[in-house]
Amino acid sequence: MSGLQDLLASRAALTPWLDALARDIFDQLHQKTRGEHGVTRASWGTGETIACDLLKARAQSLDLATRSDGIGNLYVELPGRDRSAPRWVSGSHLDAVPEGGNFDGAAGAVAALLAMSIFKKTGVMPARDVWAVGFRGEEASSWFTGLHNSHLGSRAALGILPDSELDTAIHRQSGLSFRQHLQQGGFAWPASGAAKNDLRPDTTHGFIELHIEQGPILETANIPVGVVTAIRGSLRARNGKVTGEYAHSGAVPHYLRKDAVFAAAEFARECEDFADGARDASEDIDVTFGEFTTNGDTHGLTKVAGELRFTIDVRSSSSMLLDRCGTEFQQIAKRISDKRGVAVTTGDFAKSDPAVMDPGLISALEANARELNIRTMALPSGAGHDAADVARCGIPTAMIFVRNANGSHNPDERMEISDFLQGVWVLAATLAR
């Protein structure tokens, strides 16, 4: 039999061992990073470092070579038969949102390590080198404010993290800039030579990220594994603000007020109307006002609010529609400002373009799943992932989704280990080629 056939033939015998290994790793991740309700693995914080060190120790126990780059991304390296051929890379992020779930991000990094474990256990050498990666800072929006995009660690590895973001991304807890935060943590990046641009099209055969599905599609369809067709892009305003005038609710009549709350509510409703119209025209869009709050130090029951802050998160698989949203929302803001005598400002928008997954890798994942008798379905990803940045840099990219009840970014994530291992086997069969 070929090496791949040997690998597939070992599935039944190895499943109990893999099951125990996966459960042990996830249990330790949970125990060592849990908070009051869920897990907390802050970008470049204690929890993320614990996760990185845990996976590094596991890899080394399997006699796998490990290293970290200047920004802290973890790499595990397994030699293949042709050391000169472009390598496979697989993995995901190690951080998590505050009090989030144990599987978001970590499942992909663990899956890549388990795929390597299968190769080591069976003695099968893949056709080319395989790297497993644990990225830092994918959830940076939960830990940094200011002007920046997410996926800081993967963009550093790709060589596309602008130096300006080191100063415009501000840590929510410490108040330090990203640059200061890295310096305080002892990370070498962006010092000369510390960023090696580890992920490059000329040295990477393909990148595959396994991730829990963050929606209910696979759960509803009762299918364990999904193959992602595309990752929706986003348009984000992190520093939206409405500025009016504070006034006494009993003394100032409505027609003389410059009420920030009503102006913000009208702005949000008109943005929703725009999105409804786009969906009616069969366009793909979702708009979210994730933060919408008055100033807790000055608001009150009998006070007309003079300021309100908000964020906007637009998701779409159309780059052109994201651009239209930015233009339209600015126009809506101006109309409401003029109408109500307030200032509605969105602040700068940060755009992340949609990313289409590689058709050849999609076909390979589906073919390997059929050979393994694993049911899959094709679906887009509504959430952003490190894989999107990798794809935009010209590296063939694919994603495997694993069924997960109760959504993500919450303590109630419920990925079944049996589903996870089906995703791992699809991944391993693909990396073997």
SS3 annotation, 102-162: CCCCHHHHHHHHHHHHHHHHHCCCCCECEEEEEECCCCHHHHEEECCCCCHHHHHHHCCCC
- Sequence-ordered list of residues with C-beta below 8 angstroms from that of 276, at least 6 positions apart, any chain: none
**pTM (2 decimals)?**
0.81
Which residue, 352, 367, 389, sits at the end of a domain? 352
Whether 148 and 85 share a structural domain: yes
**What distances in angstroms separate CA 298 from CA 10, 291, 303, 309, one per listed residue?**
65, 18, 9, 13
pLDDT at 194 over 70: no
- Tens digits of per-residue pLDDT, 305-343? 999 999 999 999 889 999 999 999 999 999 999 999 999
Q: What percent of the chain has pLDDT over 70?
A: 98
Mean pLDDT, rounded, for 257-272 = 98
**Confidence band, pLDDT 50/70/90 cuts, at residue 34:** very high
Other C-beta atoms closer than 10 Å to the C-beta of 298 total 11
Q: What is the dihedral of CA 314, 317, 323, 327, to 10 degrees?
A: -40
pLDDT at 178 over 50: yes
How many CA atoms lie less than 13 Å away from 182 in the CB half-sphere? Answer: 23
**What distances in angstroms separate CA 187 from CA 73, 133, 166, 180, 183, one per listed residue?**
11, 18, 13, 10, 6
322: domain range? 234-352
Whether 176 and 265 share a structural domain: no
User: Which residues share a beta bridge with 331?
Assistant: none
Whether 343 and 360 share a structural domain: no
pLDDT at 192 over 60: no
Mean pLDDT, rounded, for 366-370 = 97
Whether 397 and 417 share a structural domain: yes
| Rounded Cα distance, 125 and 136, in Å | 28
Number of domains into which the chain is organized: 2
pLDDT for position 189: 80
Determine the residue type at 289: F
Q: Measuring CA to CA, which residue among 255, 257, 326 is closest to residue 287?
A: 326
Whether 263 and 126 share a structural domain: no
Whether 25 and 153 share a structural domain: yes
Which residue, 352, 377, 409, sits at the end of a domain? 352
Whether 347 and 361 share a structural domain: no
Whether 176 and 63 share a structural domain: yes
Which residue, 323, 352, 381, sits at the end of a domain? 352
Output the domain CATH number for residue 249: 3.30.70.360
pLDDT at 301 over 50: yes
Q: Which of 59-63, 184-188, 205-209 has the lowest mean pLDDT?
A: 184-188
The average confidence (pLDDT) of the chain is: 94
pLDDT at 1 over 60: no
CB-based contact 44:189 (threshold 8 Å): no
Mean pLDDT, rounded, for 351-369 = 94
- Tens digits of per-residue pLDDT, 230-250? 999 899 999 999 999 999 999
DSSP 327-350: HHHHHHHHHHHHHHTSEEE---EE
Whether 198 and 248 share a structural domain: no
pLDDT for position 310: 98
Mean pLDDT, rounded, for 344-364 = 94
CB-based contact 397:391 (threshold 8 Å): yes
Whether 82 and 184 share a structural domain: yes
**What distances in angstroms separate CA 249 from CA 252, 308, 369, one per listed residue?**
6, 17, 63
User: Which residues share a beta bridge with 42?
Assistant: none
Tokens of 158: 């790709």
Whether 239 and 363 share a structural domain: no
Q: Measuring CA to CA, which residue among 236, 231, 233, 314 is closest to residue 278?
A: 314
Whether 221 and 164 share a structural domain: yes
| Rounded Cα distance, 239 and 228, in Å | 31
Burial class (CB in 10 A: 0-12, 13-18, 19+), 225: buried
Q: Which of 41-50, 196-205, 327-336, 341-350 has the lowest mean pLDDT?
A: 196-205
- Tens digits of per-residue pLDDT, 396-423? 999 999 999 988 999 999 999 999 999 9
**Confidence band, pLDDT 50/70/90 cuts, at residue 149:** confident
Mean pLDDT, rounded, for 20-24 = 98
pLDDT for position 6: 80
Output the domain CATH number for residue 413: 3.40.630.10
Residues recorded for the chain: 433
